[in-house]
Structure 1
Amino acid sequence: MFRPVRPVRTLADVEAIEQTPLSALIQARSTYELFQASARENGEGVALTFLPDARGELPVERYTYAALLARINQIANTLHGLGVGPRDAIGILLPGCAEYHFALWGGEAAGIVQPLNPLLTVEKLSSLIKATGAKVLIAWADDDDAGIWRKLARLDADIRHILYVSHEGRTPDTSDIAAQVSSLNKLADQQPGDRLLSGRQIQPQDVAAYFHTGGTTGSPKLAVHTHAGQVYTAWASVQMQGLSPTDCAINGYPLFHVAGVLPGALACFSAGAEVVIPTAGLFRNKDVINHFWRLVETWRPTVMSAVPTVLAALLEVDPAGADTSSIRYFRTGASPLSPELAQRFKQHTGFRVHESLGMTEMTGISTITPPGLEAQAGSVGLRLPHSQLRIMKLDANGQPSAQEAAPHESGMVQFRSPNIFQGYLGNIDRQTYLTDDGWLITGDIGALSTEGLLKLQGRAKDLIIRSGHNIDPQVIEQALDSHPAVNSSAAVGAPDPYAGEVPVAFVTLKKGAWASAEELRAHAASHVDEPPARPRYVEILPSLPMTNVGKIFKPGLRDIAKSRYLENIVQALMRQKGVAESEWPNIKFEASLGFTLHDPHFTVSDQELAGLQREVRFIGADVRVVQQA
């Protein structure tokens, strides 16, 4: 099992770990060997707990490390018996459950796993499965909000075997399914659990998984993970967080996402710690949120991680009366944590939230703020041991130059690390994301402090990040462009105190055409696969801001979106006060000045101005009033 070399609090601690070669620190060659080690050294320790409900009314499932390894062997042997080899993909289409982990790690022992987002449309799922050539699919047969089983009959993919999981004991309807359908658990029960029948000797550079880089990107983009990369992510996460067999984590991340699978679970398994799955719905289950602090009191987690959206939801749940003293470390990632939310969470719960940076292209984790290090909100932590991090100055076109930035100077964030992925599956130019000497070009803008802390300042790309969901604006733009009245469109992220950003869109109409903004919003929503990517609103403009080379200038549109955010708040205030619309203040946002509120009629009091300033604090901008006409 992995054990912390030493407590990490500073960059000097990271550098001290690096005095020992990585080859001497990591002996495991595969994720399978990690489970072998944990079963050997902590066989009777609890590895995995599944909670079927959040109220504690139903019996829980618990698995020791010995039992977990046995089930991994049985699943791997089942897949081997179906003809799955080291280069074959296995699709996984399940909600949160213990079987997800059996499928993940048994699948990696037999072949290559492909976790799939159940919320995707049939068309998107078919495209992803075709891209990997998966012939075996492990799927959920019980009713769920994603309608998993109903989607299977409509898949346009060459699936030969469907292995179903049912917690209700049902035999699913297979009348419209061409593939051979069998019960995963019944087949696995017939297999030996003490060995791999394939005799496979997994090598570090063998492909372990294909992870989709985002549920709302315009086309399938699958990141290729190796066993070596996943093992390193687990080891580095143990070092940075000080994980041990005495730890326990409630992991509510979706298991088709790297955060839930690798730093959220494999790291714990590699250290002999316990992972608790909070119902099939995970943190999307409102019951889990409403009973979260009671779950903490019952299951005594020591380490916790959740996206900022979940942290915001937990602010609505009173922890008073619940014993939460077991938690020693609270971490967040996947999307920016606003200083206001960090402060409110600490006031509400007593826990300081430590930020991290993870990305699919770095096998789930890039930087971590370790326990005991009190970094400012926005600082996502220190680099991992035996990894490299640099900031490259930007050239006139916003691209990374060959010159490294000084401390506290902004530039493009780049990493070189043992967990850099092998690349994207398919014909995607490697030079768009990797330098010739192996540095990952993240597309993020940031700066390094003299203490080695990375502070993110924005994104070079135009991805909209909504509660950790990466949303490609092209998905929205393509949907809007398909409307006959639309001439041009652009989608950007608008500020939202709960989700960080929400997608909104701006359009121009064709000459002589007409459509309402609500009609266009509904049209976009009907053509965008995932609900998180559907625009909150669509605004029709006479023209879109352009650069001098004729490209749409999205920073200008983001400024308009910020202006609209405060306008809505001010207009509600004016209506409440009964102010005539002709006297309402005019609002403009500029990146260099923040919000300017033109109020020649003196409609906003000093107290109300202070309230407006609080409303936009999470954006990192101020509000100033200009009262001359």
Structure 2
Amino acid sequence: MEKRWLAHYPPEIPHTLDYPMKTLPDYLRETAEQFGDRIAIDFLGKTVTFRELYEQAMTFAHYLRGLGVKEGDRVAVMLPNCPQAVISYYGTLLAGGIVVQTNPLYTEYELEYQLNDSGASVLVTMDLLYPKAIAMKGKTAVKHWIVTRMQDYLPTIKKWLYPLVRWKQKMPSVRVDEGESVHLFRSIVSRLETAPLQVAIDPMEDVALLQYTGGTTGHPKAAMLTHHNLIANTLMCAHWVYKCEKGKETVLGILPFFHVYGMTTVMNLAIMQASKMVLLPRFDVKQTLKTIERTRPTMFPGAPTMYIALLNDPDLSKYDLSSINVCISGSAPLPVEVQEQFERVTGGKLIEGYGLTEASPVTHSNFLWDGERVKGSIGVPWPDTEAKIVSLETGEEVKPGEIGELVVRGPQVMKGYWNRPEETEQVLRDGWLYTGDIGYMDERGYFYIVDRKKDVIIAGGYNIYPREVEEVLYEHPKVQEAAVIGVPDPYRGETVKAFIVLKPGEECSEQELDAFMRERLAAYKVPRLYEFRSELPKTAVGKILRRVLVEEEKKSLTNRQNSP
């Protein structure tokens, strides 16, 4: 396999890296020793230094060991972005445990499934989520609940005002009584037990994280990511952003840490590089703009919908975003129009990257500075990462320009799926990870994603890739967000339907969009159906959920067929 992309690497980025035999907590300890007084976390104005972060994580680890957690035991962390999430994550790893990242938005059904699948014995959560968490008692292997409160890490004034905020937002008041199986986070970390723990961890083989996939087909599966997998991907990221200086950067942490993208590009990278993390528990446009102006972040990993929302805020011009130098967009395709506009507003660089849960997650991205950026491309493979396009029919590597499935190989690729050997064999073959994404590589070695294998629309015998249609829709000046799916059609088999969110204050007809699209796309690719909405369903990281739209369409079709 010819690695054409290596010719484009700037000299500052090595083709291959050295990977020390360390665990993730080793980096936290080293950063605390070298940059102990530097602020590690800014949470709504409350700050935590790297020394304090390490001491509280170690204290948390001692407490877990006291609860019986040993090497390989699973600890579920169900928290939004906050200091407690970082402390729990690294505290679990310091204790030798395996972190199970759990989405706070899960229903009881989803939570019960994940806890049973992972076999977690401890669940760390927020008081507002406690009723859902304690409902797992007797239904799962969880024996201990560690509960924290938002105000535990708020500045003094905000801590006093928090009850008023809860009242205004009609947030329920939840009482949590400490007991044999229920433990209060603030009581744990106040103990300050910081003596090193002796745990036996093999970074190459031992799993650090069970990261569940989105569950687009059937139940979610847990990717087993080792310490080596996660360290390798974080080191790759550090080398890719080589102009960012250790101990001097500030990273905006809106991407949730329970998603692997935010975990690697914000949390783990910040720990490794001694960068300040500015954490927000959820994405809110106004709060984000105010936070950027207050904290002056230099790095902003995000998702396209975040950048789109900021650009379309009517008060955008009132805020100074000029501190932002580096943005890597992931989790969904980045429309070219959004990239160009965001760079004009901030003066920084916004590039598209690509990855998946099973690869810790990043495998590709465009160059930020000295290398060429190719619009519409996911860029080139990261150091030590190989990639190729293989035929959907034969599995053989295809020529540049030909469409097939993207497969990748590298030290960031997962060990396998937790307790699913058959499904592991389906996606891991001879060391290659079969991504399920359709794309191609050009003559120079740049890669392009056309779409997910399962999202391809086949209409009248033609293959139509939703991303291509969405890119054109985003060029329309009145369109804020767009999603394209295939819907049943009695003549064509499938036809193209577009879901549209217009920019605030705009009006647009189907006829106007149709005329716009027909000027830019072959007739068979042009949507035959349009639906205007106020918002589109999204994941926690802002990725538009096409599968939800597909399910809604199926349900609507069934209802129409069953109606008299």
Evaluate the alpha carbon distance shift between residue 138 and residue 503 of structure 1 in structure 2; reply closer, same or farther with a 3 A threshold: farther
SS of the counterpart of 2:265?
Answer: helix
**1:530-556 alpha-carbon deviations (Å, 9 max, x no partner):** xxxxxxxxxxx6x5865xxxxxxxxx2
CA distance in 2, matches of 1:564, 1:26: 46
1:260 is matched with which residue?
262
Evaluate the alpha carbon distance shift between residue 216 and residue 168 of structure 1 in structure 2; reply closer, same or farther with a 3 A threshold: farther
Per the TM alignment, residue 347 of structure 1 is displaced from its structure 2 partner at its CA by 4.2
Matches within 5 A, 1:143-158: 143=128, 148-155=129-136, 156-158=139-141
CA distance in 2, matches of 1:9, 1:328: 25
Q: 1:593 aligns with which of 498, 520, 523?
A: 523
2:378 is matched with which residue?
380
CA contact (8 A) 1:213 1:222 kept: yes
2:453 is matched with which residue?
460
CA distance in 1, matches of 2:456, 2:223: 17
CA contact (8 A) 1:232 1:418 kept: yes
Per the TM alignment, residue 116 of structure 1 is displaced from its structure 2 partner at its CA by 0.7
Q: 2:52 aligns with which of 67, 71, 79?
A: 67
TM-score by length of 2: 0.76
2:312 is matched with which residue?
316
TM-score by length of 1: 0.68
Structure 1 gap ranges (5+): 1-7, 52-59, 465-491, 507-540, 547-555, 575-583, 599-629
Per the TM alignment, residue 350 of structure 1 is displaced from its structure 2 partner at its CA by 4.2
1:516 is matched with which residue?
none
Evaluate the alpha carbon distance shift between residue 218 and residue 458 of structure 1 in structure 2; reply closer, same or farther with a 3 A threshold: same
Evaluate the alpha carbon distance shift between residue 593 and residue 120 of structure 1 in structure 2; reply closer, same or farther with a 3 A threshold: same
1:124 is matched with which residue?
110
SS of the counterpart of 1:245?
Answer: coil
1:86 is matched with which residue?
71
Q: Does 1:304 align with 2:300?
A: yes
Per the TM alignment, residue 178 of structure 1 is displaced from its structure 2 partner at its CA by 10
Q: Does 1:440 align with 2:433?
A: yes
CA contact (8 A) 1:368 1:380 kept: yes
AA matched with 2:105: L
AA matched with 1:207: V
Per the TM alignment, residue 342 of structure 1 is displaced from its structure 2 partner at its CA by 2.4
CA distance in 2, matches of 1:28, 1:225: 15
CA distance in 2, matches of 1:231, 1:596: 44
CA contact (8 A) 2:6 2:15 kept: no
Matches within 5 A, 1:322-401: 322-372=319-369, 373=371, 375-395=373-393, 401=395
**1:523-581 alpha-carbon deviations (Å, 9 max, x no partner):** xxxxxxxxxxxxxxxxxx6x5865xxxxxxxxx24x2x149999x9545769xxxxxxx
2:401 is matched with which residue?
408
Per the TM alignment, residue 355 of structure 1 is displaced from its structure 2 partner at its CA by 0.6
Matches within 5 A, 1:46-195: 46-51=39-44, 60-110=45-95, 111-141=97-127, 143=128, 148-155=129-136, 156-168=139-151, 172-173=174-175, 180-195=181-196
SS of the counterpart of 1:276?
Answer: strand
CA contact (8 A) 2:391 2:398 kept: yes
1:34 is matched with which residue?
27
1:233 is matched with which residue?
233
CA distance in 2, matches of 1:422, 1:76: 25
1:530 is matched with which residue?
none
Per the TM alignment, residue 167 of structure 1 is displaced from its structure 2 partner at its CA by 3.0
CA distance in 2, matches of 1:252, 1:450: 37
2:289 is matched with which residue?
293
SS of the counterpart of 2:254?
Answer: coil
CA contact (8 A) 1:236 1:385 kept: yes
CA distance in 2, matches of 1:184, 1:137: 12
2:545 is matched with which residue?
none
Q: Does 1:425 align with 2:418?
A: yes
Q: Name the % identity.
A: 24
Per the TM alignment, residue 190 of structure 1 is displaced from its structure 2 partner at its CA by 2.1
CA distance in 2, matches of 1:99, 1:136: 15
RMSD (Å), alpha carbons: 3.5
AA matched with 1:371: L
Evaluate the alpha carbon distance shift between residue 241 and residue 316 of structure 1 in structure 2; reply closer, same or farther with a 3 A threshold: same
Evaluate the alpha carbon distance shift between residue 572 and residue 591 of structure 1 in structure 2; reply closer, same or farther with a 3 A threshold: closer
Evaluate the alpha carbon distance shift between residue 10 and residue 345 of structure 1 in structure 2; reply closer, same or farther with a 3 A threshold: farther
CA distance in 2, matches of 1:208, 1:383: 24
2:483 is matched with which residue?
501
Evaluate the alpha carbon distance shift between residue 15 and residue 311 of structure 1 in structure 2; reply closer, same or farther with a 3 A threshold: closer
Q: 1:274 aligns with which of 276, 280, 298?
A: 276
With 344-353 and 205-214 compared, the bigger mean Cα shift is at 344-353
Evaluate the alpha carbon distance shift between residue 357 and residue 564 of structure 1 in structure 2; reply closer, same or farther with a 3 A threshold: closer
CA contact (8 A) 2:32 2:50 kept: yes
**1:234-275 alpha-carbon deviations (Å, 9 max, x no partner):** 100000112422111101011210011112220121111111
SS of the counterpart of 1:17?
Answer: coil
SS of the counterpart of 2:124?
Answer: strand
Per the TM alignment, residue 168 of structure 1 is displaced from its structure 2 partner at its CA by 3.9
CA distance in 1, matches of 2:423, 2:267: 32
Evaluate the alpha carbon distance shift between residue 221 and residue 498 of structure 1 in structure 2; reply closer, same or farther with a 3 A threshold: farther
CA distance in 1, matches of 2:140, 2:353: 37
